[in-house]
Amino acid sequence: MMMIFSDLLGSNASDQITPDRIAAATDKGLTRPHNEDDFLSLALPGDKITLAVVTDGMGGHDGGELASYFTIEALSKIWRGFGSTEHKARDSEELLVDAIKKLNSRIHSVNDQLQISRAMGTTITAGLITPSKMIVAHVGDSRAYFCRGGKVKQITEDHTWVAKMVKLGNLSRAEAENHPLSHLLSNCIGASPVVEVSVYHHKRKVDDRYLFCTDGLYGSMSPKELQRIMKAHENPRDTLKELIYCSLRGGGKDNITGIVLFDA
């Protein structure tokens, strides 16, 4: 198993997620020749906010990998150069959503100008962990979960055509699980000039656990197995290792990426 782990960069301020409470990793899986996923976990010294991001590129090695990488690098650069701590705490949500929309415009413009046969694009699920809450900005079918009291719940809603059909009552959840078009996206970065960014606000509580992941992770295990693993370990690194191992054991047909955060 070839996992690439990353430690959180930043200070040990008590009101942010500290390095010993977060783990991030990616694995290309067992069948894909390249890894089109990417991730970012970042808190700068003095900041009161942690940024956690997962992306899942599409369009093949020359498209998806580039779109995913470009998105992560651009967000990292924006975050590192963004103002004072007080300004960041107040305006970070607006900054993140605006950055995602601008990235969409840039990637779509490249697709349009180059007339790429397999247009590059990417999903993004990004979490801002502030002193009091978690703010999630989301496009596509990567996901954010939280675990509280041993129960895991999904924060985000998938931007897929099947999920839309379920919401409209045209498909049951059971039918959606095995639908052949279950991963056909209705919304992603790069596909059109305008992107819909869903934003979720989630109040933090002591002992909450969070997972940001691409579909290669959650798609290879049952919700019951994911819940078991999320509450089984004492630290995020062991939690993420088992989640990725379980995904590989389930077939590893896609790239696998996750970020696990333990609140305290």
If one compares 183 and 236, the residue with the highest pLDDT of the two is 236
- Which uninterrupted H or E stretch holds 89? helix 85-114
Per residue in 96-122, pLDDT (tens digit) is 999 999 999 999 998 888 776 677 899
Exposure pattern of 46-72 as b/e (b: 16+ CB <10 Å)? ebbbbbbbbbbbbbbeebbbbbbbbbb
Phi/psi-derived region of residue 258, left when phi > 0, alpha when psi is between -120 and 50, beta in every other case? beta
Residue type, 235: N
DSSP state of 247: H
Domain at 4-262, CATH class: alpha beta
The pTM of the full predicted model, rounded to 2 decimals, is 0.90
**163 three-class SS:** helix
Burial classification of residue 81, based on how many CB atoms lie within 10 Å of its CB (0-12 exposed, 13-18 middle, 19 or more buried):
exposed
Going by pLDDT thresholds of 50, 70 and 90, the confidence category of residue 145 is: very high
Counting every residue written for the chain, the total comes to: 264
Across all residues in the chain, what is the average pLDDT? 86
Going by pLDDT thresholds of 50, 70 and 90, the confidence category of residue 241 is: very high
Q: Are 257 and 38 in contact (CB under 8 A)?
A: yes
pLDDT at 98: 95
> How far is residue 161 from each of residues 16, 55, 137, 144, 150, measured CA to CA in Å?
36, 19, 19, 19, 31
Give the up-direction half-sphere exposure of residue 120: CA atoms within 13 A in the CB hemisphere. Answer: 26
Going by pLDDT thresholds of 50, 70 and 90, the confidence category of residue 208 is: very high
Distance CA 202, CA 25 (A): 24
